[in-house]
Amino acid sequence: MTLRSWEDVSGEVELEADVVIVGTGPGGAAAARVLAEGGRRVVMLEEGPARPRFAPNYANIMRYHMQEGGSMVALGDAAIGVAAGRGVGGGTLVNSAICWRTPDAVLEGWTEVLGGDARFRPQAMAPVYDEISEIIGVTKTNPDIAGENNLLIVRGARALGLEADLLHRNTPGCVGCGICNLGCPSGGKASVDRNLIPMARAAGALVQGDTKVTKILVEGGRARGVSGLVRHTDDRRVVGTVTVRADTVVLAAGAVGTPRLLHVAGLADQLGPRVGKGLHLHPGNAVMGLCDHEVRMWKGATQGAYFLDPDLPDVLPHTLSMPPGALLMMMGGQGSVAKERLRQMGHMAGCLVMVSDKGEGTVSANADGTANLSYYFEDVDIQNMRAGLKRTCEVLLAGGVKRLLVPIVGVGWVDGIDEAFAAIDAADVTRYQGMYAAHPMATCRMGQSLDDSVVAPDGQAHGLPGLYITDSSIFPTSLGVNPQLTTMAMATILAEGMLG
């Protein structure tokens, strides 16, 4: 089937399908593949460009491949930038390609929340993870292209007796150019526009890009389709509308996009009090350090290594990759100091500290349809951040770093572990210079009743038959790991259920 863009729409277009899917990221793509191969007529609608518009700079990626131009911020205890991708392929176009499986303990907990539903138990999920991993080309990062930044993290953590290794990523053709977040220029990253979506299209699915859904059609108490505006990719002028009538509507616009759409469409109240509630973010900050030897943290596999501390089960440190311009800003300094930083930045290493958060936030919509986000930490999140930052300082020093940079207001450059620990203990660790979150989830949670969840264990909304959700918004809790692989696995299971 044809991959359609704004150029294929003029005026009002009406389509008929068995299933319409809103969003073409990991959840939408995985569901589309199963449903199309199962014989359903599938139409996928995507807000972003039909074809990648990659260029090696942040301004371009924010314009074309980030929701709301990369401007979303959750306000509350801190201002946290929230990243969510757009374009045919969704967030997989611009993520770091990390493919973690959700820990068994988390899945077992979900089984209890879902009334004993065995489909999400570890032993049931394992073959689905295997299937998706094979399709999207998950492999362990090759040491030959990992880069010194990743190798330093592994070396330092192992020197301290910690579990550490190179990560599994869906980058079977990775050449180590280090700009996954700006779109893969080599084609080495197996984002879903290169596998799951082509598989769905080969089975007859139609994909329409440049289309922002604003309405969910409801007839006779059941979801019956959607409609949206089609915009020119570059200048954003409206060129037409698309309406898709279907007996099954699947929302897969992400943990921000899906509840935002439900609010814009006027259905949030009907779907219960939990729509947009319980936002988890996996908030993170980082530690960097100056080495005597060359590192070039912008070269090598993007975020290609991790370490684990058994005493910190809710902390997941993994490599920080940063292009030269952003790194120079983070290092700070003016005049002669900035000049010295230019000479030093090729010797900088870095590591992110991501927390499996207990704090929560909300997603709703402003009057203009943009996302209204809030977020508040729990004390345990702050404690985990402090402990994770300290452990990461130790790992960096053990790996070869000579001087530490903790980019938190009131900390900055420190000499030695004692000074680093004292500064971290005294600082407000939520005041990280550039705190952001790229893993929004749990805003339309799966559960057993309308009072405490939005969708049932089969993915169908409690308050509206025919409406399903298959993205990271349905997670009952925070994962603690990067979500893309679990999103694809759960969407696969739910779509198989829709086939009956």
Task: With cut-offs at 50, 70 and 90, classify the pLDDT of residue 160.
Answer: very high
342-356: pLDDT as tens digits: 999 999 999 999 999
pTM score of the predicted model? 0.96
Q: What integer pLDDT is reported at residue 123 of this predicted model?
A: 96
Task: With cut-offs at 50, 70 and 90, classify the pLDDT of residue 276.
Answer: very high
- Is there a catalytic annotation at residue 282? no
| pLDDT at 237 > cutoff 60 | yes
52-78: pLDDT as tens digits: 999 988 899 999 999 999 999 999 998
255-271: pLDDT as tens digits: 999 999 999 999 999 99
| pLDDT at 1 > cutoff 60 | no
| Helices 417-426 + 379-399 axis angle, to 10 | 160
Q: What integer pLDDT is reported at residue 3 of this predicted model?
A: 87
When pLDDT is averaged across residues 381-407 and rounded to a whole number, the result is 97
Q: What integer pLDDT is reported at residue 338 of this predicted model?
A: 81
When pLDDT is averaged across residues 285-311 and rounded to a whole number, the result is 96
Q: What integer pLDDT is reported at residue 322 of this predicted model?
A: 86
Q: d(Cα 406, Cα 387) in Å, to the nearest integer? A: 13
Token pair of 369 as six digits = 């349809």
89-98: pLDDT as tens digits: 999 999 999 9
| pLDDT at 291 > cutoff 90 | yes
Residue with tokens 């992110």: 352
Q: What integer pLDDT is reported at residue 369 of this predicted model?
A: 96
When pLDDT is averaged across residues 278-306 and rounded to a whole number, the result is 95
Q: Which amino acid is at 426?
A: A
Task: With cut-offs at 50, 70 and 90, classify the pLDDT of residue 337.
Answer: confident
Average pLDDT of the chain, as a whole number? 95
Task: With cut-offs at 50, 70 and 90, classify the pLDDT of residue 479.
Answer: very high
| pLDDT at 375 > cutoff 80 | yes
Q: d(Cα 9, Cα 230) in Å, to the nearest integer? A: 7
| pLDDT at 235 > cutoff 90 | yes
Residue 306: C-alpha distances to residues 184, 350, 487 (Å): 21, 12, 21
Residue 233: C-alpha distances to residues 193, 211, 321, 463 (Å): 18, 10, 29, 35
Chain centre to alpha carbon of residue 279:
13
Token pair of 225 as six digits = 């389709």
| pLDDT at 433 > cutoff 90 | no
182-213: pLDDT as tens digits: 999 999 999 999 999 999 999 999 999 999 99
456-474: pLDDT as tens digits: 999 999 999 999 999 999 9
Domains by residue range for the chain, with CATH: 3-70+80-135+183-275+443-499 (3.50.50.60), 140-169+284-356+378-429 (3.30.410)
> Which of the two residues, 235 and 338, has the higher pLDDT score?
235
- Of 168, 318, 347, 439, the catalytic one is 439
When pLDDT is averaged across residues 365-375 and rounded to a whole number, the result is 97
Q: What integer pLDDT is reported at residue 183 of this predicted model?
A: 93
78-133: pLDDT as tens digits: 899 999 999 999 999 999 999 999 999 999 999 989 999 899 999 999 999 999 99
Task: With cut-offs at 50, 70 and 90, classify the pLDDT of residue 327.
Answer: confident
